[in-house]
């Protein structure tokens, strides 16, 4: 059965500046190269879900500019329903990515049209949310609209997935309607106050999140892998060993791919994480966010020939 995934999120045009290392304060450096590509956490996650086989829809805002046209084209090329992607009186969101030789990145985001999402947009998208198996959001659009969308989703039996990035305080009104939270080490520490370095701390962080109202957690641990704890199960999935070129969309690819494979009751979470981990491993071997996200057949082929598992 094909999962129906709706993503409420951001659409950004990425400006990728390739450098040897981060500059020191006051230092002027020469870039080794630069590129422009589609991105934004919401767009990345939606395209990852669609390319992994999910029937995907998007709720978001773009500007009436060439960059907005570019982002809509990216979504439409991935066969994503863009009927809830509307125009804002602001420029399309942008991200400026400092990509180091070791594959690590630092990102500056200009929200633009992403911050213009309103309650009216959520109201108009309610039929789309209701028709979904999963609703995903992040924090690159107004959190007030995420609260409204997740409350409506829960009223209608839709499974909600929160990616609290960029990390910030999460209101209780949102957490109480989150079925699954997917977050990295930094986000985990900011939300729980627990530095995740080993299994005991992973578990402690998940238990803290459960006390805050979220019973199902996946903590992504970079090159180590991913830890998960649900109401029914707990485990760790090691990462596939690859040489990273650009980690920009790693987490977003993981989440989108996960949503395409996950059962609504989360009983296949370990298998879905393995699939998502491979999708992420493939993505980090190419430069750019959306251009690096693999397709279903590529992920399955890689899994079939993997020797790690």
8 Å CB contact between 56 and 50 = yes
* pLDDT score, position 141: 97
DSSP string, the chain: ---EEEEE---EEEEEEE-SSPPPTT-----SEEEEEEE-HHHHHHHHHHHTT-EEEEEEEEESSHHHHHHHHHHHHTT-EEEEEEEESSPPEEEEEEE-TTS-EEEEEE-GGGGG--HHHHHHTHHHHHT-SEEEE-SSS-HHHHHHHHHHHHHTT-EEEE---S-----HHHHTT-SEEEEEHHHHHHHHS----SHHHHHHHHHHHHHHT---EEEE-TTSEEEEE-SS-EEEEEPP----S--TTHHHHHHHHHHHH--TT-TTHHHHHHHHHHHHHHHTTSSSSGGGPPPHHHHHHHHHH-S--
* pLDDT score, position 80: 98
Annotated binding-site residue? 217 = no
Write down the residue that tokens 């809509």 correspond to.
72
Cα 150 to Cα 7, 76, 273: the distances in Å are 11, 25, 23
pLDDT band for 105, please (50, 70, 90 cuts).
confident
pLDDT band for 284, please (50, 70, 90 cuts).
very high
Q: Is the per-residue pLDDT at 151 higher than 90?
A: yes
Q: Is the per-residue pLDDT at 37 higher than 90?
A: no
Q: Is the per-residue pLDDT at 23 higher than 70?
A: yes
**Average of per-residue pLDDT across 155-184:** 95
> Pseudo-torsion of CA 259, 246, 95, 44, nearest 10°?
-20
Annotated binding-site residue? 121 = no
Distance from first CA to last CA of the chain, Å, rounded? 25
- Distance between CA 46 and CA 272 in Å, rounded? 16
**Average of per-residue pLDDT across 214-239:** 95
- Distance between CA 43 and CA 8 in Å, rounded? 9
* pLDDT score, position 1: 85
| CA neighbor of 254 nearest in space, from 213, 215, 283, 297 | 283
The pair of three-digit structure tokens given for residue 3, joined into one six-digit string: 């999962």
* pLDDT score, position 153: 98
Going along the chain from its start, the domains and CATH numbers come out as 4-22+32-305 (3.40.1190.20)
Percentage of the chain with pLDDT > 70? 99
Cα 113 to Cα 76, 244, 271: the distances in Å are 19, 31, 36
Percentage of the chain with pLDDT > 90? 85
Annotated binding-site residue? 44 = yes
* pLDDT score, position 3: 98
Identify the residue with better confidence: 223 or 253: 253
pLDDT band for 26, please (50, 70, 90 cuts).
very high
Q: What is the pLDDT of residues 65-83, one digit of tens each?
A: 999 999 999 999 999 999 9
Q: At what angle do helices 296-305 and 269-283 cross, to 10 degrees?
A: 100
* pLDDT score, position 247: 82
* pLDDT score, position 244: 86
* pLDDT score, position 211: 94
Active site residue ranges? 252
**Average of per-residue pLDDT across 189-214:** 94
- What average pLDDT does the structure give for the chain? 94
Annotated binding-site residue? 288 = yes
**Average of per-residue pLDDT across 165-171:** 89
Annotated binding-site residue? 193 = no
């Amino acid at each position: 059965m094909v999962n129906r995934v709706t993503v409420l999120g951001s659409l950004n045009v990425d400006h990728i500046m390739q450098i040897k290392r981060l500059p020191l304060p006051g230092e002027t450096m020469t870039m080794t190269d630069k590129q422009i590509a589609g991105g934004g956490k919401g767009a990345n996650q939606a395209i990852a879900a669609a390319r992994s086989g999910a029937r995907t829809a998007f709720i978001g805002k773009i500007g009436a500019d060439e960059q907005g046209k570019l982002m809509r084209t990216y979504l439409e090329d991935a066969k994503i329903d863009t009927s809830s992607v509307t125009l804002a009186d602001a420029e399309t969101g942008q991200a400026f990515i400092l990509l180091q030789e070791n594959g690590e990145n630092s990102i500056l985001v200009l929200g633009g049209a992403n911050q213009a999402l309103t309650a009216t947009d959520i109201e108009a998208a309610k039929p789309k949310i209701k028709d979904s198996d999963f609703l995903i959001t992040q924090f690159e659009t107004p959190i007030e609209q995420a609260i409204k969308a997740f409350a409506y989703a829960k009223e209608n039996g839709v499974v909600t997935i929160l990616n609290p990035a960029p990390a910030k305080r999460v209101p209780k009104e949102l957490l109480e309607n989150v079925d699954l939270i997917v977050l990295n080490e930094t986000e985990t520490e900011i939300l729980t106050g627990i530095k995740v370095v080993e299994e005991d701390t992973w578990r402690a962080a998940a238990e803290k999140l459960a006390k805050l109202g979220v019973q199902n957690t996946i903590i992504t641990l970079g090159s180590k892998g991913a830890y998960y704890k649900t109401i029914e199960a707990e485990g760790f999935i090691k990462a596939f060993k690859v040489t990273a070129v650009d980690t920009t969309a790693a987490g977003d690819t993981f989440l989108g791919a996960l949503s395409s494979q996950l059962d609504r009751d989360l009983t296949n979470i370990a298998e879905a994480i393995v699939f998502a981990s491979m999708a992420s491993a493939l993505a980090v071997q190419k430069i750019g966010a959306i251009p690096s996200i693999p397709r279903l057949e590529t992920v399955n082929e890689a899994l079939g020939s993997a020797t790690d598992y």
